[in-house]
Amino acid sequence: MYPGQHARLRPLQPAFIMASTGEAVTYRELEARSNRLAHLFRKHGLRRLDHYAIFMENNSRYLEACGAGERSGLYYTCINSFLTPGELAYLLVNSQLKILITSVAKLDIAREAIQACPDIELCIVADGPGESERIVGLADVTADLPATPIADEWLGTAMLYSSGTTGRPKGILRPLPEEKPKHNLPLFDFLTKLWHYREGMVYLSPAPLYHSAPQAAVNLTIRMGGTVIIMESFDPERYLELVQRWGITHTQLVPTMFSRMLKLPEEVRGRYDLSSLEIAIHAAAPCPALVKDDMIKWWAPSSTNITARPKASASPPATARNGSATAAPSARCCSATSTFSTRTCGNARSARPARSGSRRQRRSNISTTPRRPRRHARPTAA
């Protein structure tokens, strides 16, 4: 969540907008907030490759909490906001961190967890007051700190944990090159191209920000100078309403969200204009073929691109070439990581394999020439 040059080029454009409240934070504000927090990290002795954690629900302070580490050379761990105090304490100790950032809503759990974590020097309440020398309010401890960058900026990144299905959760520590924050990790450069991210995009994030895919998508949107609409929690009709309201161009969902939207009454599904959508990404779990077929018929009857890979496959996703792409086969599901473009064209030309076997066993092979994306007004602060 590094604003970089966008704080100078588009200072008054919203970097993100909270869906429920309409609270907008501009690129200038995000830059200043993340700089102050980066100065606080340095003040408390955090240096390049050190760790801190974020334990919050989706709120308006989440992105600056990540962005401060991304410009300070730090590893930041975004933690599942539904954990118990004991589960949280394990991750805090295991990641060897010194600072925890939490919220008023999660403070009771955080307070109990840090009692078992003597190495944590500071617990920062992002959206409320402090209560002791160890538990402090973000506004209070950063009020007198500079809004300008720290002198020794380095690229930082997330260190997330596995779900722990084979035992205890395990931290995934990516090598962190000694680069300035304006550069990006090669993985994210690859994803930017794969997901067709671009300047001026408007991204709708319906999932918890502690998950890896939403966090990467939001991060890359900020780096591209787009605007993120953050849902505090997912609701299927509210999601469709937000697509229409903000002219959403890109989004990322999980198959369960697809299913919940498909269960809406036909009159509700047809009530909203979704024509601004260009790219929809689904990840996290295999998507049943029938569900994905129904989503493509609804959102992209003349779909431009489909890229997919079976969950068990070690090979990378198929990539688009000359405006087309091929979906990797999967007998029972589409993929664990998949992108389909919702852009439609008047001269769309489908190239599908001959029908053979059951509907589930057929795979898509769609090739068209993409049209110029529709222009929508850039989101502005309310």
What's the whole-number mean pLDDT along residues 307-320? 34
Cα distance between residue 262 and residue 281, in whole Å: 16
Tally Cβ neighbours within 10 Å of residue 176.
17
Under the banding of pLDDT at 50, 70 and 90, the label for residue 165 is confident
Structure tokens at 367: 């090739």
Under the banding of pLDDT at 50, 70 and 90, the label for residue 370 is very low
Cα distance between residue 239 and residue 233, in whole Å: 10
Pairing label, strands 306-309, 279-282? unpaired
CA 57 to chain centre: 13
For the chain, strand residue ranges (E) read: 14-18, 24-26, 51-55, 75-78, 99-102, 122-125, 135-137, 157-158, 202-205, 227-230, 250-253, 279-282, 306-309, 337-341
Cα distance between residue 220 and residue 343, in whole Å: 21
Under the banding of pLDDT at 50, 70 and 90, the label for residue 312 is very low
Cα distance between residue 78 and residue 69, in whole Å: 11
Structure tokens at 125: 């309440």
pTM, two decimals, is 0.82
pLDDT 10s digits, 261-284: 999 999 999 999 999 999 999 988
Tally Cβ neighbours within 10 Å of residue 360.
15
pLDDT 10s digits, 20-40: 999 999 999 999 999 999 999
**Cα-Cα end-to-end distance for the chain:** 22
Cα distance between residue 53 and residue 277, in whole Å: 34
| For the chain, percent of residues with pLDDT exceeding 90 | 73
| For the chain, percent of residues with pLDDT exceeding 70 | 79
SS3 content of the chain, % helix, strand, coil (to 5): 30, 15, 55
Instruction: Identify the CA nearest to 339 among candidates 352, 320, 357, 321.
Output: 320
pLDDT at residue 376 in the model: 53
Domains of the chain: 6-12+26-182 (3.40.50.980), 190-361 (3.40.50.12780)
Instruction: Identify the CA nearest to 272 among candidates 298, 310, 252.
Output: 298
Cα distance between residue 315 and residue 369, in whole Å: 27
**H-only helix segments in 5-61:** 6-9, 27-43
Q: Are 199 and 6 in contact (CB under 8 A)?
A: no
What's the whole-number mean pLDDT along residues 53-73? 98
Lowest mean pLDDT among 34-38, 156-160, 367-371: 367-371
Element (DSSP H or E) covering residue 64:
helix 62-70
Q: For the chain, count helices (H), then strands (E).
A: 12, 14
Please, how many CA atoms are within 13 Å of residue 21, restricted to the half-sphere of its CB? 10
Cα distance between residue 348 and residue 360, in whole Å: 24
pLDDT at residue 35 in the model: 98
Q: Is the pLDDT of residue 368 over 90?
A: no
**DSSP code for 328:** P
